[in-house]
Copies of this chain bind each other. A is one copy, B any other.
Amino acid sequence: MIKVFGHTAPDTDSTGSPIIWAWYLNEVRKTPARAVLQGEPNTEAAWMLTRWNLDKPEIIADVAAGEQCVIVDTNNPAELPASINEAEVLEIIDHHMLAGGIKTRLPINITVRPLACTATIMHDLIGDDLVAAPEAVKGAMLTCILSDTLEFRSPTTTPHDRAVAEKLAADLGVNVSEYAAEMFAAKSDVSAFSDEALLKMDSKEYELGGKQLRISVLETTAPQVLLDRKDALMAAMPGVAAADGADEVLLFVIDILNEEATLLVPNDFVKQVAEQSFGASVSGDTVVLPGIMSRKKQIIPALAV
Chain A interface residues toward B at CB < 8 A: 94-115, 296-297, 300-301
User: Once the chains are docked, how many angstroms separate the CA of A104 from the CA of B114?
Assistant: 12
A100 cross-chain contacts in B, Cβ below 8 A: 100-103
10 tightest CB-CB pairs across the interface, nearest first?
Answer: A110-B112, A100-B103, A107-B114, A98-B104, A97-B104, A95-B107, A97-B107, A96-B107, A97-B106, A98-B103
Nearest CB on B from A79, distance (A): 15
Q: How many copies does the complex hold?
A: 2
Evaluate contact between A110 and B107: CB separation under 8 angstroms: no
Look across to chain B and name the residue whose beta carbon is closest to the beta carbon of A96: B107
Please name all residues of chain B whose beta carbon is closer than 8 Å to the beta carbon of A95 when the two chains form the complex: 107
Check A113–B105 contact: CB distance below 8 A: no
Please name all residues of chain B whose beta carbon is closer than 8 Å to the beta carbon of A98 when the two chains form the complex.
102-104, 108, 110
With A98-B110, A110-B98, A110-B110: A105-B296 Cβ-Cβ less than 8 Å: no
User: For residue A107, which residues in chain B have a CB less than 8 angstroms away from its CB?
Assistant: 94-97, 112-115, 296
Question: Bound complex: CA of A112 vs CA of B107, how far in Å?
Answer: 7
Interface of A is mostly: loop
Residues of chain B within 8 A of A97, CB atoms compared: 103-108
Q: Name 22 interchain pairs, CB-CB below 8 A, sorted by A.
A: A94-B107, A95-B107, A96-B107, A97-B105, A97-B107, A97-B108, A98-B102, A98-B103, A98-B110, A99-B103, A100-B101, A100-B102, A100-B103, A106-B296, A106-B297, A107-B112, A109-B112, A109-B113, A109-B114, A110-B111, A110-B112, A111-B111
Residues of chain B within 8 A of A104, CB atoms compared? 97-98
How far does the Cβ of A277 sit from chain B's closest Cβ, in whole Å? Answer: 14
Q: Which residues of B contact A106 (CB under 8 A)?
A: 97, 114, 296-297, 301
User: Which residues of chain B are near A101, meaning CB under 8 Å?
Assistant: 100
User: A164 to chain B: closest CB distance in Å?
Assistant: 17
A113 partner residues in chain B, CB cutoff 8 A: 107, 109
CB neighbours of A114 from chain B (8 A):
106-109
Q: A94 CA to B92 CA in the complex, in Å?
A: 14
Neighbouring B residues of A108 by C-beta, 8 Å: 97-98, 112, 114
